[in-house]
Structure 1
Amino acid sequence: MGTKRHKPEDVVAKLRQADVLIAQGPSVADVIRTLGVTEVTYDRWREEFGGLKTDQVRRMKDLKVENQRLRKAIANLTPDKLILQEAAKGLEGQRRQNV
């Protein structure tokens, strides 16, 4: 059986739906069954998206993408920086010898 990926916006909507259903009286286990997810998934969603609104989730998602892009940029630039630092040390050493 394959796993289904839920979009963060869908997760927030399901958590709100769960809150409404729980307020009406059924047990949490019944509500989780109604949502069609496992208890572990529900708990993980609560922990990650508990008090967020849909627009906050979108912003968080955008920030994660931007963070990932910046990490890749840093990873690509780090070797270049190290090479330039080594070259600068070599040039500085040559200058001292010439003086």
Structure 2
Amino acid sequence: MKRSRFSEEQIIAVSKEQEAGMATADVCRRHGVSSATFYKWKAKYGGLEVSEARRLRSLEEENSRLKRLLADAMLDNAMLKEITAKKF
């Protein structure tokens, strides 16, 4: 997945600028992002604090690691079943 040029802290700061009363178009223009990107950020990070965003990222990384481990285990299991089926 492509890494953003903005950190979670920066994204939350941009969101807070808009919540403070600045127009969305002005915030987007000032930071050089599209309004679609801004609303995507707002959906993901809206209402979060910086520490919560860091925790969210670490949980997402752990979740993807566990999914890879599960996929590898299921593949190994399928191969073992295939090998034992050929022996009989």
Could you list the runs of 5+ residues in structure 1 that have no partner in the other structure?
Answer: 94-99
Q: Could you state the TM-score of these two structures normalised by the residue count of structure 1?
A: 0.67
In the alignment, structure 1 residue 46 sits paired with structure 2 residue 68: no
Shift of 1:32: 2.3
Match of 1:17 in 2: 17
Q: TM-score, normalising length from structure 2?
A: 0.74
**Bigger Rg over Cα:** 1
Of 63, 66, 76, the match for 1:80 = 76
In structure 2, C-alpha distance between the alignment counterparts of 1:70 and 1:53, rounded to whole Å: 26
Q: Distance in 1 between matches of 2:16 and 2:23?
A: 15
- Indicate the percent of aligned positions where both proteins have the same amino acid: 30
Unaligned regions of 5+ residues in structure 2, if any? none
Q: Residue 90 of structure 1: CA displacement?
A: 8.4
Number of positions where the alignment pairs a residue of Structure 1 with one of Structure 2: 84
Report the counterpart of residue 97 of structure 1 in structure 2: none
Instruction: Judge conservation of contact 2:14–2:27 (CA < 8 Å) in 1.
Output: no
Aligned partners of 1:42 and 1:31: how far apart in 2?
9
- Root mean square deviation, CA, Å: 2.3
Q: 1:82 to 1:11 in 2, by over 3 A?
A: same
Q: Is the 8 A contact 2:8 2:53 kept in 1?
A: yes
